[in-house]
Amino acid sequence: MQKHKFSYSVLIFGYAFLYIPLITLIFYSFNASRQVTIWGGFSTKWYKALWQNETLLSAAWVSLKVATLSATLAVIIGVLASLVIVKFNKFKSKTFFNTLVAAPMLIPEVIIGLALLLLFVNLEKLFGWPKGGIQTITIAHATISIAYVTAIVTTRLSNVDPLFLEAAQDLGAHPIKAFFVITLPLIYPSIISGWLLSFVLSFDDVVVASFVSGPESSTLPMVIFSSIRFGLTPQVNALATLMISFVVIIIIGASILNDRQKKILTNLDETDETPTI
C-alpha cells in the first residue's frame, strides 16, 4: 500500500499506543516484585492473593449482581423504546422521546450521578424508597444503558423488513405473537450485544456508582479505585488481566454472533421468493 504510507504508519502508531499500556498491565501482573514497574521474576502469587481478598470478592459479587440486573432491565425497556421509535409513527412527542432516550449517552457521568443521587434522596425522604445500595446502583446503571440498548436495537429493528410482520399478520398471527415469532428472532443478536454492552458499562462504572451507592455497598470498580488512589499494587494488575481476558473472550464471541446474523439478513434480502419455513 504505497499510496497510504502516511496513514498506515499513523495506524500502526495508533495501535501501539492503544495496546502497549494493556500489554504492560498484563506483563507486570506476573511480576514477583511488589514494585509494579521493576521486574523481579515470574510469579502468579498476585492471582492467589486475589482469591484471599475478601473485600474485593464481595465487591465483585455486588458488581456481578448489579450488572446482571441492570443489563436485563435495560434490555427490556430499551427494546420497548426502540419499538416506540421505529414502529409507532403516530406517536406525537417522538422528538422529545428520542432526546430523553439518548441524553444519558451524552451527559457526563458526574452530572448523571449527582442528578440521580439527589433524586433518590428526595424519593427516599418522601416514600422511604429506594434505599441506597444495590437498588439505586441498578436503577442508575439501567438508565444509562437504556440509551445504548435503544441505539443498537433501533438500528437493527429499522433494518427488519416490515413485510415479514405484515405477512404474519395477514396469515392471522396476533401482533404480540408476530412480535415474538418474527421480530424477536430477527433482532435478538442486537439484544444480546445490547445486554453485553450494558453489562460491561455497569461492571466498569465507578463515578455514578460512587454517587448513588449508600455507605454499605461498594462495587468492584469502587474498591479498585480506592486502592489505586492509595498507590500501585500488583493485585490490581492481576485483576486487570483477568478482566481483560474475560472481555476479549466476550467481544470476540459477540462479533462472531453478529457476523452470523449479518449473513442471515443478507441471505433473506437476496432471496426473491418468500422464505420457506
In the region spanning residues 204 to 263, those forming contacts with other proteins, defined by CB under 8 A, are: 204, 206-207, 210-211, 221, 224-225, 228-229, 232, 236, 239-240, 243-244, 247-248, 250-251, 255, 259
Q: Nearest distance from residue 110's CB to other proteins, in Å?
A: 4
Q: Which of 64, 114, 192, 257 is in the footprint of other proteins by CB under 8 A?
A: 114
User: Site residues for other proteins, window 24-53 (CB under 8 A)?
Assistant: 24-25, 28, 35-38
Give CA 265 to chain center in angstroms: 24
Q: Mark residues 8-27: x for contact with other proteins by CB under 8 A, - for none.
A: x-xx-xxx-xxx-xx-xx--
Could you give the CA distance from residue 158 to residue 121 in angstroms, rounded to a whole number?
Answer: 39
Using the rule CB under 8 A, give the single segment among 53-61, 109-117, 127-135, 183-191 that binds other proteins. Answer: 109-117
Cβ(29)–Cβ(240) below 8 Å: yes
Could you give the CA distance from residue 78 to residue 265 in angstroms, rounded to a whole number?
Answer: 22
Residue 170's nearest CA partner among 162, 122, 35, 118 is 162
Which residue, 6 or 42, is less far from other proteins as judged by CB?
Answer: 6
Residue 156 burial (C-beta neighbours within 10 Å; 0-12, 13-18, 19+)? buried
Q: Nearest distance from residue 4's CB to other proteins, in Å?
A: 5
Burial 72-95 (b: 16+ CB within 10 A, else e): bbbbebbbebbbbbbbeeeeeeee
Which residue, 36 or 64, is less far from other proteins as judged by CB?
Answer: 36
Residue with cell 436485563: 72
User: Site residues for other proteins, window 116-175 (CB under 8 A)?
Assistant: 116, 118-119, 121-122, 125, 139-140, 143, 146, 175
Q: Nearest distance from residue 261's CB to other proteins, in Å?
A: 13
Q: Which residues pair with 122 in a beta bridge?
A: none
Which residue, 61 or 246, is less far from other proteins as judged by CB?
Answer: 246
Cβ(46)–Cβ(52) below 8 Å: no
User: Site residues for other proteins, window 69-108 (CB under 8 A)?
Assistant: 77-78, 80-81, 83-84, 88, 91, 97, 100-101, 103-104, 106-108
